[in-house]
Chains A and B, each alone.
Chain A
């Protein structure tokens, strides 16, 4: 399996991002509607799902906040907003990353993919999405977009994982419903679909 896809790497990424995302004040911090004196907000461009989007981003704004509240991509879920649960997992240059713990300004040059970008233009589901439907992998579904993005990242790095490798690949994503077994079945089926 790709060693990049471990929880350890997620956590390192969180530390490196410098995102302070641990208090009940996270929402205003993430949204950053008010600006300290001397700061000038910047209209930046980010590449999301193959489209370059111009967006007004505060310096301390997280990618999850930008995606959900500026770009309307609500498929990226916030379960904890502090790098614990993985519901906000997106791909940054093919690497599964916690969007709640990545500053938007830090990914200006990156390719960002969310669950909304997986379907083909004709509406066909991505093989991981199709496999998750066939295996009925989701239960409540709240963690599902994050699980899917983690699985897509895994299969790009390792198209034919063993079940144990798939298990390690999904280790950064909590499912409180406990549907892990069905998610693993979905990943293994997706690997077969290709």
Chain B
């Protein structure tokens, strides 16, 4: 289908601000009379605050006040393992205990140093399996896990059970979560090759470039909060609740966000922004809270690590017949997530496993709090499964591409525990396209070729994440001057989807892009409730809402045209910023004229009547504020059918140096399968950005904690080893399938998260290939691990260790 905007590159409105430095992030703002907050954080991984003596600090010149957990939670701290604004029961080093505001940061730091806090030390644990073992410490006061709707619990296995698991045997304890489908026993019986083993994946921090600094002030009873987020309305609604201010009195300002990667999607994952808000309310001054890199590490969250076991069966033809998987996921000191479930769901979809059982238990540790991180679950498991698939292919005498083509999802397939249909799937096409671009048939002949100390490895990987939601709203307005305003609450994370999804509305009205204004950046610009920009869903979800709102606007325009110019609404169409009769293009009105006519008519045309009742509350508020200002289109998306997937495929060739354990990525091809392409440059950026994340996941990133004191040992970029440009190929070749999904009006789906999984899978497969099929069953696979393997050194590290080496 020929589109005016869809599938075409454009210059997003904020790019000029990014290259000139003019666009403002939260810490770039200042306010007359602004004072500065510093945090007193826990130096102990698990403790209870016995007393706080701030008298000396409060007596110091230039100190305006402190904020404690008792101020924030006068009725007691909330239950559960979620992040709190401040706490008297820290469960990780660096958790904020109190905040102090002063005239400048030096004074604030000096005052913080003058505060005496008495802690009662409590037992702590860094490795979930140590906690799981009978008699082991619990990470939380109430236990080592939190059961939904039931509360804290202490999950314990016998020490023999834990030791057996660490030694690679199937766990035998009852899990917290499980699902199963198919006849697992029969499927294993039919299998010609069965692999069984344990695996571990590391936790590591998000490390967004912009620390989560925030500035807040109150004016005429309203709270203005400059913050950082992946979502405007998706986060602001809940943040208002956390601060305790009515939605109508809360203005969240967030023009740009310096990275999120899942950790800034929702208010609950970044409650620290409430500190300057509450402190400002208490001392009646604007408060800036700057967050350092170390603080960003400690309160910024981390990916869940896995300690797992799996058994996988393949039929003689290569079909993945059976998978039995058990995962202990690390909930850290706060939070948690559904990563283990998502990992199992991913395998079910990505490899179309015929019979499957998942068992999982989430256990806390006194380490960084856990929450969603780019492909939570799907991307931890991708680099584990890919080398196993290659091992099966080798054992069964099947080509590595062929075994993937055999098992890959395609149109009409289902997946997951609910056996939910996919809205569409063009993975065979993606694999074939990638193979052709990579020249797979020639490249595979180089597998394991040696050149001095270097050996070539070839890897193929696949990635998946569900990529679309429902229940969101859209608002568009045709202004009296004929311009189109698209209100978009999705947030500006750097994907440019706030702009590219707005182009769906422009498409409906055939509106030139230069005549479109994307209204975003702060919630008092009257935004609709859109989904948090996470889960790779923005493209699918917000294309639907913007398209729907524009269709509503178009229907109103046609109704007015028929009313004034005769005929029926269906007799009219749009083009050239006019609405006109299809049979006689001279009969029509300009967009400016029809917008002005709509204003005269009012009522449903201007949002003053017949507003959809199923709109979200915040959208209703926005609509009520906009009512009467322009000809409006309003839409609530109630869709909830099937699973819109985002898929990727990666092919890579590496050259692994057996003397150093390092490898160079000689070539990398990554293909997106995300329906119709909305914005080629934006898609390319997600593919190459996801590739860099995949390189980090499979080769470098992990956080470490001191086992004696529970102190984080990797708070910086170099200690956590975020990939630099020199760790990545000089060129990553990209492509896309570009076939439409039937459940999106323009056929589009999301891509951000699977872009990472396929790359990490391809790399661990390539490393395994270069090492004659050796399985590390781990991510990351670091140079020392490779060297130890090549030297035949048996690791002295504790098997399945989490959060430290312990070797």
Residue numbers in A under 8 Å from B732 (CB-CB): 181
Q: Is B290 on the interface with A (CB-CB < 8 A)?
A: yes
CB atoms of A34 and B106 under 8 A apart: yes
User: Shortest distance in angstroms between A84's beta carbon and chain B's nearest beta carbon?
Assistant: 4
B491-534 to A contact mask, C-beta < 8 Å, 1/0: 00111100000000000000000000000000000000000000
Nearest residue (CB) in A for B727 is A180
Chain B min CB distance to A77 (Å): 7
Contact B726 A140 (CB under 8 A): no
B685→A136 contact, CB < 8 A: yes
Please measure, in the bound complex, the distance between the C-alpha atom of A186 and the C-alpha atom of B718, giving whole angstroms.
26
Q: Are B109 and A178 in contact (CB under 8 A)?
A: no
Are A85's CB and B717's CB within 8 A? yes
Contact across chains for A180 and B725 when beta carbons are under 8 A apart = yes
A25 to B19, CA, bound (A): 30
- Given A75-B22, A80-B716, A116-B21, A177 and B292 contact (CB-CB distance below 8 Å): no
Shortest Cβ distance from B711 into chain A, in angstroms? 13
Q: Does B583 contact A (CB under 8 A)?
A: no
A140 touches B493 (CB 8 A): yes
Q: Is the CB of A87 within 8 A of B723?
A: no
**Residue pair A176, B207 in contact (C-beta under 8 Å):** yes
Question: How far, in whole Å, are A179 and B15 apart by their CA atoms in the complex?
Answer: 14
Are B688 and A181 within 8 A (Cβ)?
A: yes
B positions within 8 Å CB-CB of A = 9, 11-12, 14-25, 27-28, 36, 38, 103-110, 207-211, 256-261, 290, 292-295, 493-496, 681-682, 684-685, 688-693, 716-718, 722-726, 728, 730-732
Q: Judge whether A125 and B258 touch: CB under 8 Å.
A: no
Rounded to whole angstroms, the CA-CA distance of A82 and B14 in the bound complex is 28
B689–A87 touching, CB < 8 Å? no
Is there contact, CB below 8 Å, between B211 and A79?
yes
Query: Once the chains bind, are B209 and A176 in contact (CB under 8 Å)?
Result: yes
Query: A139 within 8 Å of B by Cβ?
Result: yes
Evaluate contact between A119 and B20: CB separation under 8 angstroms.
yes
**CB pair B496 A136 closer than 8 Å:** yes
A112–B681 Cα distance when bound, in Å, is 33
Contacting A176 at CB < 8 Å: which of B28, B682, B722? B722
Would B717 and A178 count as touching, CB distance under 8 A? no
- Answer whether A142 and B21 are a contact pair too, CB < 8 Å, given A27-B290, A84-B717, A133-B16: no
State A75–B22 Cα separation when bound (angstroms): 6
Partner of A142, one of B15, B19, B210, B718: B210
Known: A74-B28, A133-B11, A136-B681. A82 touches B716 (CB 8 A): yes
| Residue A33 is within 8 A (CB to CB) of chain B in the complex | yes
Q: Is the CB of A139 within 8 A of B109?
A: no
- Assess whether B685 is in contact with A129, with CB atoms less than 8 Å apart: no
Q: Is the CB of B292 within 8 A of A142?
A: no
A26 to B109: give the CA distance in the assembly, Å.
10
Interfacial chain B residues near A138, Cβ < 8 Å? 15, 18-19, 494
- Do A136 and B209 touch (CB < 8 A)? no
A128-159 interface (Cβ within 8 A of B): 129, 132-133, 135-136, 138-145, 148
Given contacts A180-B728, A182-B685, contact A33 B19 (CB under 8 A): no
Question: Which A-chain residue is minimally distant from B726 (CB atoms)?
Answer: A171
Would you call B688 and A79 a contact (CB within 8 A)? no
Set of chain A residues within 8 Å of B731, measured between Cβ atoms: 163, 181, 184
Q: Given the complex, which residues of A lie within 8 Å of B20, measured CB to CB?
A: 75, 115-116, 118-119, 125, 129
Q: How far is the CB of B514 from chain A (nearest CB, A)?
A: 15
- Closest A residue, CB atoms, query B729: A181
A residues sitting closer than 8 Å to B (CB atoms) are 23-29, 31-34, 73-82, 84-85, 87, 114-116, 118-119, 125, 129, 132-133, 135-136, 138-145, 148, 163-164, 167-168, 170-171, 173-184
Whether A136 contacts B682 in the complex (CB less than 8 A), given A28-B104, A32-B106, A116-B20, comes out as: yes
- B209 touching A178 by the CB < 8 A rule? no
> Would you give the shortest CB distance from B272 to chain A, in whole angstroms?
14
Query: Does B726 lie within 8 Å of A178, measured CB to CB?
Result: no
Beta-carbon contact of A178 and B723 below 8 Å:
yes
Chain B residue numbers with a CB within 8 Å of A29 are: 106
Q: A31-B105, A133-B16 are in contact. Are A180 and B493 (CB under 8 A)?
A: no
Which A residues touch B258, using CB under 8 A? 77, 79, 140-143
Specify which chain B residues have a CB less than 8 angstroms from the CB of A177 in the assembled complex.
Answer: 209, 259, 494, 685, 689, 692
Interface on chain A toward B: helix, strand, loop, or mixed SS?
A: loop
The 20 listed contacts between A and B (C-beta, < 8 Å) are A28-B107, A31-B105, A33-B104, A33-B106, A34-B106, A74-B24, A77-B258, A82-B716, A87-B209, A129-B19, A138-B18, A142-B259, A163-B731, A174-B722, A175-B725, A176-B259, A177-B259, A177-B689, A179-B689, A181-B728
Most chain A CB atoms below 10 A, which of B16, B18, B28, B295: B18
Cβ B689 vs Cβ A178 within 8 A: yes
Further pairs besides A28-B104, A140-B208: 18, Cβ < 8 Å = A25-B109, A28-B109, A33-B104, A33-B107, A80-B716, A81-B293, A84-B718, A115-B19, A132-B15, A132-B19, A139-B495, A141-B14, A142-B258, A168-B726, A176-B261, A179-B688, A184-B725, A184-B730
CA distance A122 to B264 in the complex (A): 38
Q: Which residues of the partner chain B approach A118 to less than 8 Å between Cβ atoms?
A: 20
Check if A178 sits within 8 Å of B292, measured CB to CB.
no
The 8 Å CB contact of A180, one of B106, B494, B688, B690, is B688
Chain A hits for B18, CB < 8 A = 138, 141, 144
Structural contact, A74 and B21, CB atoms closer than 8 A: yes
Closest CB in chain B relative to A81 CB, distance in Å: 6
Q: Which 9 A-B pairs have the closest CB atoms?
A: A75-B21, A178-B692, A142-B258, A28-B106, A140-B494, A141-B18, A139-B494, A178-B689, A33-B104
Which of A76, A79, A129, A178 has the most B CB atoms < 10 Å from its CB? A178
Query: When the two chains form their complex, are residues B292 and A81 in contact, meaning their CB atoms are under 8 A apart?
Result: yes
Inter-chain contacts of B295 with A (CB < 8 A): 24
Contact, CB under 8 Å: A82 / B105? no
B692 and A180 within 8 A (CB): yes
Asked if A136 meets B9 with Cβ closer than 8 Å, knowing A28-B104, A129-B20, A144-B19, the reply is yes
A125 to B726 alpha-carbon distance, docked (Å): 28
CB contacts (< 8 Å) of B728 on chain A: these are: 178, 180-181
CB distance from A137 to the nearest CB of B (A): 8
Bound CA–CA A6/B688 (angstroms) = 24
Contact (Cβ within 8 A) B692 A33? no
Tell me whether B690 and A115 are in contact (CB under 8 A): no
Question: Is A140 touching B725 in the complex (CB atoms < 8 A)?
Answer: no
* Interchain CA distance A177-B495 in the complex, whole Å: 10
Task: Say which residue of B24, B211, B496, B688 sits within 8 Å of A178 (CB atoms).
Answer: B688
The reply to whether A136 and B211 contact each other, CB–CB distance below 8 Å, is no
| Interchain CB contact under 8 A, A80 and B293 | yes
Docked Cα-Cα span, A138 to B494, in Å, equals 7
Closest to B12 in A: A136
- CA–CA, A73 to B105, complex, Å? 20
Pairwise interchain contact B209-A140, C-beta atoms closer than 8 A: yes
A32 to B273, CA, bound (A): 25
B355 shortest CB reach to chain A, Å = 37
Chain A residues contacting B27 (CB-CB under 8 Å) are 78
**CB–CB A26/B292 < 8 A:** yes
Q: Is B19's CB under 8 angstroms from A148's CB?
A: yes
- Bound Cα distance from A173 to B724, whole angstroms: 8
Q: Is the CB of B725 within 8 A of A170?
A: yes
Q: How far is the CB of B767 from chain A (nearest CB, A)?
A: 20
Contact across chains for A143 and B11 when beta carbons are under 8 A apart? no
Q: Is B21 in contact with A145, judged by CB distance below 8 angstroms?
A: yes
Nearest opposing residue in chain B for A145, CB measure: B21
B residues near A163, Cβ cutoff 8 Å: 730-731
B222 CB, min distance to chain A CBs, angstroms? 25
Say yes or no: B25 contacts A142, CB within 8 Å: yes
Please give me the residue from chain A that is nearest to B688 by CB atom.
A181
Chain B nearest Cβ from A94, distance in angstroms = 19
Minimum CB–CB distance from B60 to chain A (whole Å) comes to: 11
A30 → chain B, closest Cβ, in Å? Answer: 9
- Cβ contacts under 8 Å, B38 to chain A: 27
Determine which residue in A23, A73, A77 has the highest number of CB atoms from chain B within 10 A of its CB, and name it.
Answer: A77
Most interface-central of B20, B293, B295, B688 (chain A CB within 10 A): B20
- Of the listed residues A80, A87, A164, the one surrounded by the most CB atoms of chain B closer than 10 A to its CB is A80
